[in-house]
Amino acid sequence: MLALDLVVLHRESKQMSVRQALGRTVVWIMVALSFAGLVYGVYEHHWFGWRVAPDALLVIGIIAWVSRRESTAGMVDLCNDSGRGIANRTYA
């Protein structure tokens, strides 16, 4: 899609009007929303006969839990600093 956008749609350089820019913005937003809707339909409503194995859902849940835990660990350290300062902080 990037090649199509850069090579085919923008062969010559010219100044774009506000109306044309808004039109292209709406088109690309609709492409993104259509893709998101397709992904949702495939995973949630099993379009095209696609099924997600229960083991895959377990792995996805574990990955999400670990990444959420790692991303919030730094925030918890900052909240529980209790006046020690960054240089005196110990990490387990």
Q: Each residue of 21-44: pLDDT tens digit?
A: 999 999 999 999 999 999 899 888
Where exactly are the structural domains of the chain? 1-50, 52-92
pLDDT, tens digit (0-9, with 9 covering 90-100), for 40-72: 998 888 888 877 666 666 777 777 777 776 665
Tokens, residue 90: 């110990």
Q: Are 53 and 47 in contact (CB under 8 A)?
A: no
50 φ/ψ sector (left φ>0, alpha ψ -120 to 50, else beta):
beta
